[in-house]
Amino acid sequence: MLPRKQYIEVVKNTPLVSIDLIIEDTEGNILLGYRLNNPAKHTWFVPGGVIRKNEPFVEAFQRISEAELGFKIQLNEAVFVGVYEHIYPTNFAELEGFGTHYIVNAFHLKLNTKTIELPKQQHSEYWWANKQELLAHEKVHSNTKNYFNEYKAFSHTQ
């Protein structure tokens, strides 16, 4: 992990590669977290995180799932949705003059339970929302909504 000053320079000058986890329960509800930090602060968003330099993708997937969900998910348990681009006017450090650019690898995973103990470091609360709720809610970030507008496998979701 880079020191804060160096990471700020990376965010300022390069795109970040990340993984988003589209978690669906057995009833077709999608897990969303209410973001505590920028970018996307104070919006509902799917769990996810940044891949570190020289971190193998499989290990990044496990680390991010554990950090965001409280347990590790194996990459082969998820279905690749696609690559997305997320561009924000803000950054994690809340500094003026530059935003954040992500190249996102999105994955879909179905869980048998929603009684999991979810961490509170990145999200103040969690919500299992159906497709209509999340598409209609003004505080669900447009980048999260795009997964459901663009990915055909979610067309059956309630």
Q: What tokens does 104 get?
A: 């996102």
Instruction: Give the number of other CB atoms < 10 A from CB of residue 61.
Output: 24
How far is the C-alpha of 124 from the C-alpha of 59, rounded, in Å?
A: 26
- Cα–Cα–Cα angle for 133, 137, 143, rounded to 5 degrees: 100
Q: 49 a known binding residue? A: no
Cβ 47 vs Cβ 144: under 8 Å: no
DSSP state of 73: -
Q: 55 a known binding residue? A: no
DSSP state of 153: G
Q: 158 a known binding residue? A: no
Residues whose CB falls within 8 Å of the CB of residue 37, separated by 6 or more in sequence, listed in order = 92, 122
Binding-site annotation, residues:
48, 68, 122
Binding-site annotation, residues for Mg(2+):
48, 68, 122
